[in-house]
Amino acid sequence: MATAAGEIYFIGEKDLRTKEITPYFKVGIVRENPENADRDSTQRLLEHQTGNPRELYIESVVKTDLVELVETLLHKKFAPLGVRGEWMKLTDAELEQVKVEANALAAEAKGIISDLQKAEKLAKEKSDEVTIPATDELIALNEIYLESNAKLKASDEMFDVIKEVLSDALEDEDEEEEVEAFVKVQEKKGKSVFDETAFKEKYEAIYKKYIITKSTIKGTASYSGSRTFKKEFAEFDPGFAKIVESFDPLVEKIAAGKEKKEALHALSLDLRRASAEAEWSKMKAESKIKVACGTHAGIEGVFKWVRTEKIIESLDRKALKEAHPDLVEEFTAAGEAIKAVIVDPKKGY
């Protein structure tokens, strides 16, 4: 997970002649980098100014931990206000709203970063066999985790349907023009696939020379109630419940030609916001539960996290390729091309 600190900057623009401030603002980041300590929002301003016919200025800067996560959450929460890339079109009130949210997230991130770092360290430590008793706070955190996870799962399922409906429309000559502003299909080259099993069978002696054996700590965290969670969304997030309730009827109306597909894109932006909030809540709950568990095997009725030492053997593919590039190429095949449906994360139309 990206845990770097940095700055969230708000860059505005003015007309060179009239000095009138436009409603467009770029919300971007500068990561803290020990190797380039002079790099900050002012430097980014100069970089963005190149090629821009309007005068750019720094409207404000928010310093924060977890800068990448905070920026991603901001853009997803305010997706309907985004126009292209990191640029948003904002009224004075909307600009203030985004800045208030940025500061609120920065304040939260300050508290979260310590738990995240402790949890990452604990993942590399063996656990004992003790299961500690749960507190009311930990039970509540587990519930937040389960609720957030349920929202993420439902969001993913709805997003899969959205991609299918919009990509089908894109391939239809009669519907293509209606959706091309907010969806595209990208063909990506398949990843090269190395047939390790076949290589081992033919060149076993060479294969054995590049086997690395190392000790590592492994353990999967599991949260009580994950498989049996059946709580209704209306019980804990009425806003998300409305999105879920409206989804199927909207898809049916679109299929019947009674609603424009633009409405489905608008709903996808609401889903991005909801899923981003759920990811943030889930992350906070996960890290706090892990820190509370410490080096123990779990928390009664809440959490299991048994971590044991494992001896793992793996092929040092990089070293093998450097020493025997022709042999590696012999057992490497191009993967199948993948079609990716890209639904615009902004409303730039």
Cβ atoms 189, 176 nearer than 8 A: no
Q: How far is the C-alpha of 147 from the C-alpha of 139, rounded, in Å?
A: 12
Give residue 234's pLDDT: 97
Give residue 38's pLDDT: 54
Name the phi and psi angles at 296, rounded to 5.
Answer: -85, 170
Give residue 49's pLDDT: 54
Q: pLDDT digit string (tens) for 72-106?
A: 999 999 988 998 888 999 999 999 999 999 999 99
pTM of the model: 0.86
Q: pLDDT digit string (tens) for 170-183?
A: 989 889 899 999 99
Q: How far is the C-alpha of 261 from the C-alpha of 180, rounded, in Å?
A: 11
Give residue 335's pLDDT: 85
pLDDT-derived band at 109 (thresholds 50, 70, 90) equals very high
- Domain ranges within the chain, ordered by starting residue: 1-122, 126-349
- On the 0-12 / 13-18 / 19+ scale of CB atoms within 10 A, 332 is middle
Whole-Å CA distances, 326 to 194, 201, 210, 305? 13, 17, 16, 44
Give residue 3's pLDDT: 80
* Average pLDDT of span 253-261: 94
* Average pLDDT of span 217-238: 94
- The label of the residue with tokens 């980098």 reads 33
Q: Which of 335, 85, 304, 84 is CA-nearest to residue 195?
A: 335
β-strand pairing of 298-299 with 131-132: parallel
The contacts of residue 260 (CB under 8 Å, 6+ apart) are: 178, 254
